Structure formats: structure tokens, C-alpha cells
Chains A and B, each alone.
Chain A
Amino acid sequence: MTTKLFGTKVPRVEDQRFLRGQGRYVDDLLTDDPRLLHAAVLRSPHAHARIVDIDVSDVLDLDGVVAVWTWEDLTGPMAEPLPLLIPHPTLTHGRTQYALAREEVNYVGEAIAFVVAVDRYVAEDAVARIRVDYEYLEPVVGIDAARAAERTVHDDVPDNVGARMEQENGDARAAIAAAPHTLTLELDIERSACTPMEGRGTVARWDPDTSRLTVWSSTQTSTGVRGCVAAKLGLDLARVDVITPDVGGGFGVKVVHPWPEELLVPLAAKTLGRPVKYTEDRREHFISSAHERAQQHHVEVGFDDEGRVLGLNVEFWHDHGAYTPYGLIVPIITSTQLLGPYKPQNYRVVFESLYTNTVIVTPYRGAGRPQGCFVMERTMDAIAAYLGKDRTEVRSTNFIQPDEFPYEHGLIFQDGRELTYDSGDYPASLAKLKELVGWDEFEEFRAEMAAQGRRVGIGLACYVEGTGVGPYEGAHVHIETSGKVKVATGLTTQGQGHQTAFAQIVADTLGVRFEDVEVTTGDTRKMPYAVGTFASRAAVMSGSAIHLAALRAKEKALRIAAEALEASEEDLEIADGVVSVKGTDASIDLGTVAVLSNPLRYAFDEASKAATQFSVGDPGKPPVAEDDEPGLEGKDFYSPPRSTFANGMHAVIVETDPDTAEIRILKYAVVHDCGHLINPMIVEGQIHGGVAQGVGGALYERMAYDESGQLLNASFMDFLMPYVTEVPTSIDIDHLETPSPLNPLGIKGAGEAGVIPSAAVFAAAIEDAEGFPITAMPISPSELFELRLAHADDTTEATTRSTP
């Protein structure tokens, strides 16, 4: 009997390979090919400048240089701006860069010239020989400068405003005006970035004999890259294959496509007739990939004596950098997901998406939600402080209740669909969290610590996350005559453990051994219809599609087996790859069923003889029935009506050093609801990683731009990604499972969850420890020290907080 694998902690089969250094990443490919060429990119040293002249005359003299491209050398679609991937009606002034800068550069790091040489050393030597005359322009750096609009990034974008978008449910301003209590908050979040272990990278090979282009790219969407490469290079889609090998992390940055290099590498490979590789280095990743997070928020809230929000009016300013290739996804998510598990009676949100002369902004794990969660949770804490109520009580007062699902917010979400929550039980989650972190016992602990001269604080933050956005994913399940099952789904894998989780689904649905299932992802040759891996969608989308495809294969297997076993389908069961008639010894292997599914003229081995023309079939009928097809396969697609909404709540206890202002994490607790868990170990791994990344975002990481637009910390020496020594040694996790009604497995996404509440939860805990408001994140010990100085004369605030 096959044991049910869905819901169990099956060890990840990927890890053997990864931990033994046997992963195969883009940079590992074609290394033995003597014809392989290497690319390097000349990048702008200025944040804002006109290009007067580019002189490449010294480059081709250099031994080992094969070719150099500037914008002047590009033709056709390659000479046009890169695509604006997700247009939106309010994005009235969307702009994208060229693959190589044309006349103007708008951030330090923008690609200007592309050199191909025998190795990367020579290519970098050549880059250093290119002379560019610039006419320096004053840059716009930071949201304040963008809003002031004394200068503009693009001449034809007035006031640096790319988009202004407003949504409202009810009449928020009137509700606030009529509310018994009101508060106003200014809340800021700084820039950060995904910083995956592996940067971007692309390898391309053109085969002149078959006129086919093969592209390997470290991407979160191989079908997206394929479409762009074909369009830009003027190739038929059928002549382009895009394969995503192992990917060393994405976290959002690799869903952006096509990167200039993702087009230039295939162009060079096709032009030169030799394979070409580009591997981004770490400095390039900091200055020429993508950032996120920077937003300023102005909040007005009206509430009653219980802390019930009657009206919420949020205005915010989003720094989208120099261009808008990914549209307005991040600020739209902030504006909608800000609501979290709450139901403000009246809500208005308006944002401006602003140009600055800095690296582009596109989704980074959490994608606008960390900012929204920060805004809402800081508001909840401010209400509690104002009313002198327990912070969990104010939240409970505002929760959407379990019997109110599906809950309609009256807004449009990032996928263009209604913002409607499908499921959840927020009061139950909060009860679990309070228990897990010891919320009700905390004052005792605080007093105990204070007696030792130690200062501690506790914070919590709740979020709701729309996961599994459409439009669709598909899957193909093929049972081979060996009984082995080959599964293909088109979205990519960057470390999530898809081989394991998807194989669990197939093993259960089909009734085969887990070990017999092999999953291929991100290969357009195997599954050309796909979207990508982002927005916590892989398990929901491909997991569901794989389940549906496996059901189709199973249906066919049962039909053929019933015929072979002369039994009724209802009497059959499949376990461990064997179809048997319940309660009898009669059985047939799935592999044999696969043989029978494909009528043969030629036997290729002993087993296949059973399917040849003199062995099988009714001579009076066509070997393949009119409504059937050969082979034991199933193919299906899953396309949900809208996103499914996961949720979670985090709490943290921090200690702030009264002397040095250092911030230490004493306890971190997570209650998480992503519906049914396919593999709890993988979900917990996602949470661990998300919390670690969130600790970075809250306490360590920021993009330190100076006023001239130079990124001062473009290395891991000064961009302080936390080490293992900086993240909590243990994270207490509890799960609640409210299944989603929107998909056949009842699952919701889990990939981004861990990172969303970090800024909010740390701000709350530090505020609780220190007694003054924390309104900007991230926060360093130096900043905490400066805040202490600023609040040193201001003891009244702390007093009113504790005794309202």
C-alpha cells in the first residue's frame, strides 16, 4: 500500500546534489567548449549624463577581443527600448531602457557597450579601453528629490511622476473627519535588494545546421525569456529553446526579463557563430540588476474607542528607479495588501510612482507587502498606544472573522482581479501566536530583565498575502513503459525543492513510488506554455496543474487496465505502480499499461511485444480510437479565477543594549497559514529563509546612495547581509491549515511569507523596548543611538504611552 506523501516531511531529494557541489548553474555550462566566448559590459559611471561620443577604436586591437557592440550597432527590434512587461492604464509615463544606452544614461550601472572576447579577463581589459565622452547632468536621487522635482530624470516626464493611482472603498476622508479619534503617521522604508547567491547569467549557442538557438538563463521565467529573445532577434519562436538549469536563488530579481545581456548574448552567439557566456559579477549585481522597497507613506486614520478603524487614508510615494519595465506591480501590491487581515470600514489609497536616477525597482520577495504590512501594523500599534489598549486587542477588533469569507475588499488586486480573500481564521492564528511567543507573560519577563539592567521589547505583526496569481501553469505527466513517471512543468526552480514537492503530489495522485517520479522544470522544450516562478505561485499553480495532469493519466491507466484485467474501473486501485482489482490477486504493472496504451508495429523489447499488431486490439476497430491518443500521458492546465490568500503572524522579543544600542533577537515566533502543506519541512525552510532575509531587511541591509547617485556599498563588505550569527538560532513555528477553496489541493503559497512582517515586527519590538516611536526602517544601532539622543529630552512621550 502506498503511504500518503502529501503533508509529510519528505527529505528534499535535491539536497544531495546541492550539498555535494554537484549543482549545475549557468556558469558551469559549456566550460569545456574551446569555442566558448565571454562577455563583459561597459556600465555608466554616472547617474545621469548624456552620451556625447563613444570611442571603441582601442578595443579591437586588443588580442583576444572578438567583437564589441554599442547602441549604434543594434538594428531592428534590438535597437528599440526593452519591453514594458506589465502595462497599466495609470502608468501614463512608462519608460524602459535600451539594451545598450542610446544618447543618455540614467543610473550608475546602465549598460553602454558589450564586449565579447576569448575570456572574461580580456573582455574586462577591453571594457577599460572604451572611451566615452559624457555631458554630466544633475541626478535625481531619493524620493525627496523626486518629489521636489527641481530636476527630472526623463525630459518628457514632468515632475518625475510615472504613474498616479487611486483606489477607494467607501468614503475614507469623510469617515476620518467624523471619527472620535484620529492619528497621522509618516512611515518610511528604505531600498534593499534580493541579492541571490548566484547573480544573473546567460549562455547561448546558435546551431547553424538546424538554425536553432539554445539559451540557458538564470531566470524565473524561461518562457518569458524565450518570447523576448525570439521577438527581439526576429526568430520564429519554434527556433528558440530556453532552458533554466539550477538557479542559485532569485527572490524576484530574475523574473525581470529580458535583461540587456539576456538579448545581447544570444545576438552575439548568432552573429559570431560561437557560443557566448555572460556571468554577472557581484558589483554588477548591485548596480545593474534591480532593487526594491523604498517608499514614503503618509497615513491618516480615524477610529472609535475600541480601536475599530472607521476610515483609513494612505498616500505614498514609490521610488521605481530609472525605468519601469515591471510596471506598477510593487506599489499596487502595497496599496492593496496593506489591508492585511483587517476590514477598515472606509479605505482610500493613492500613490505616485516616481523616477529617480538609480537602479530599477522590481519585485523582491514580499513585493510591496513588507511596506504595506509596516504601514498597517505601525498604525495598529499607534492606535493601541493612543488608547492604552493591548496591541493584540486592537487587532482582534479589526479582524475579518472566519464566517466572513469570501471577503470582498472592493478593490482591484495586482492581477487585475477583485481583491477577495478566500479563506483564513485570523482569531485562531492570533491565539496560537500569543501562546507561542508568551505574549501574556511578557510583562513578567520585562520586569525580570529590567531588574538585571536589561531592556527588552515585544512586537507582533500580521499580514495577508495574495499568492498563486494567474494566468495559468500547465503540466505533462508521462508514464513510461518502465513504470517510471516523467513530469514536466514550465515554471522554473531556484531552490524551492520542486522535484520533491511535485513528486509527492504525483506519487499520491497516481499511486506510484516517489522514487519513480522525475520532474523537469523551466525547459521550454518540455513545456512551452508557462508563466514563471514568482508571487508564491509555484506550488499553487504548477502543483495544481500537476495534480490535474496526473489525474488524467490515471484515468487513462484505469481505463486500459480495466480492459486488460476484464474488470470494472471502479474495482481498481493503484498502489506502488501496480493496478490491481480490489480484493483479488489480479493485477497489472503501470508500465505494462503504458505498453498497452501505445499500439506498436515494431517490438523494441520483450515487454513491448504485448503491444504489437498481432497481440493486441480488436481487428475490427482502429488501433487508436477516434477520441483517444497513443501513450499513457496526461496533460492539463490550472487557471484560477483569482489569487488565493495565505496569511501569517510573527512576533519577536528583542533586547536593546542600554549602552551600545545594539539590538539582539531573543525569541522569534511564527504562525503561518498556507492551507494544506505539501511538505511541512519545505514550508518551514521557506519561513526560516524568509525570516533570515527579513532580519537583514529590518536591521542590516540598505542601499547607501550618495547625492550624486553612486552606490557606496556595492559589495558584501558594506551591504550587510546577515550572517548565520545574526539570525535567530531558533524560530518557533506553528501552522494553521485553512484550505483554499480555489484549487484542488487546498493549498496557498508560502515562498514569500517569512519576509513580509519583518520591518513591522522589529519596529514594534524596538519601540516597545525604547518607549519612542519607530517610524523608519531599517534601523541600525547608530540610528537607534541617534533616536535616543533626539528623544532624551522628550520623556513625556514615553510616559503618555504607558499611562494614557
Chain B
Amino acid sequence: MRNKTFHSLLYFLAFWLFVGLSFILTNINTLDSSMHTKLFEAMPHSGVTHEVTAVLLNFRALDTLLEVGVILLSLIAIHALEPNFRYTPLSFENTITNTFVAILFPLIALYAFYILYSGSYQSGGAFSASALLAGGIIILRLVKPRSFFVPKELILRFLYVSGLFYFVCVGMISLFFGSFLEYRDYIASFYIISIESVLMLSLGAILSAYFINAVQRVKP
């Protein structure tokens, strides 16, 4: 009983906090900073035409590198919890789902590549593409858990770390010519596209491994 009143009091307070916050956030009068002019001055040297991709993979590439590290280390943390998961394997194998997946997965993979390459001129890029790819792999895994090809653990681990490793390697190469992760103009677009492609594959593998490690433990 007392717990219930406490909870309703919490909901009440949270509601008014929400109202107050939204009032403050909608009434912020932005101060003029030189950030936008600086961004547009630097855009021609960034190697891509879309601002978000330029910020993520050129101007503030270090943040992205560290975020890739966060995603990889979460996988290691999930490995720490892995022995505690004991679920029976799920399987939805029948003619309808098999046909559906046979058509669906190639389409998902194709669309992931489209999202990846469209990142240079519109919103998109490695993170959204890898999420799509991971979704495709998870569907495939759910429908056909037994016929699903699983490479050796070491090869899988190479795939998991490849994104962060390639990113750090690009940083080390760029150290010879300037600062860490410094690339400009035509070389920048090559680096950005290659980083995004490697990231898509390795993050796709990691994100699907989150799910597969946590939910499905099948020994064929």
C-alpha cells in the first residue's frame, strides 16, 4: 500500500519534471555561434557532401571510433554473462518462413548496401546499415537455426574487431601525414567509404551476436 502511494508520487513528480523540461527546451533562445559558418567553410575538404556524415567520419571521427569501441566492449561484457543464459533453441522452420527468408534476406542485404553508400549525400551510413544487416542475420538465424552456417569462433572474433582495428589503422597511417585521423579532399572520400564498409560488416556481426549470444544457444 505504502509502496503504491510512493509510486504514484514518483509518477506525479516525473510528469511535472517532464512538463517543466519541455517548457524550458522549447523556449531556448539559441546564441549565435560561429559553428555553422565554420562547418560550411570546411565542408568542401571533408570528402563527402552530407553534413552528418562529414561530422561523424571526418570532423569528429574520434567520437565515432570510440563509439565503435563501446559496441565491441559491450559484446565482451555480454560474453561475461553468457554462461548464465540457458534458453531452448527456437525454430520456426516450415515452407512459408523458408521461402519468405530466401526472398527477404538478399533484399535486406542489398538495402543495407544502398543505405551505406547513400550516406555520402543523404542521411544514412554505417550504423544504420549495420543495424539492418544485423536484423537480416537475426531473422535468418531464427528461422533456420540448424542450417545456419557458423564460422569458427576465432574467425568470428576477427570479424568483430575488424571495424575498430581498421579505424585505428587509418588513424595510425594518418599520423605520418598530420594529426590522428586527419584526411582531406580526395583521399578523405576513399577513407570514409572504406571505413564505413568495414564498419557495416563488423558492426552487423557484433549486433547480431548480441542477440544470438543472449537468446539462442544451439549446438547442431
Same assembly: no
